[in-house]
């Protein structure tokens, strides 16, 4: 199930969330790896398995988006308070 989540793209997102930064120069290669793994899904398992994997990945992406939004709000909030 975690095949798509255990990619360099998710590792980059996680490093951003953990505050170690986001290596923007690594994003294109990480995205390409993610897309290639996604394309290989159709060769590896049945449709139900693919849908489960994609749904799991969608949930993980939603969690990361919420975490990133929280980080952005924390960065904005101190600057607003300082005004």
Overall average pLDDT of the 57-81 stretch: 74
1 found inside a domain: no
Residue 72 pLDDT: 65
| Structural domain boundaries, residue 32 | 8-81
Residue 80 exposed, middle or buried by CB count within 10 Å (0-12, 13-18, 19+)? exposed
What is the per-residue pLDDT across 49-63, written as a single tens digit (0 to 9) for each?
Answer: 888 888 888 888 888
2 found inside a domain: no
The whole-angstrom separation of Cα 18 and Cα 81 is 24
- The domain tally of the chain equals 1
Which of 9-13, 17-21, 52-56, 59-63 shows the lowest per-residue confidence on average (mean pLDDT)?
17-21
pLDDT band of 22, cuts 50, 70, 90: low
Task: Give φ, ψ of 28 to 5 degrees.
Answer: -60, -45
Contact at 8 Å (CB) between 12 and 30?
yes
60 found inside a domain: yes
To the nearest whole number, what is the mean pLDDT of the chain? 78
The whole-angstrom separation of Cα 33 and Cα 19 is 23
């Amino acid at each position: 199930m975690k095949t798509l989540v255990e990619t360099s793209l998710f590792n980059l997102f996680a490093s951003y969330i953990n505050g170690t930064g986001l290596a923007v120069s690594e994003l294109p290669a990480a995205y390409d790896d993610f897309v290639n793994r996604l394309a290989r899904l159709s060769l590896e398992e049945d449709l139900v398995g693919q849908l489960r994997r994609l749904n799991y990945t969608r949930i993980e992406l939603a969690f990361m988006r919420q975490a990133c939004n929280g980080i952005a709000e924390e960065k904005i909030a101190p600057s607003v308070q300082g005004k």
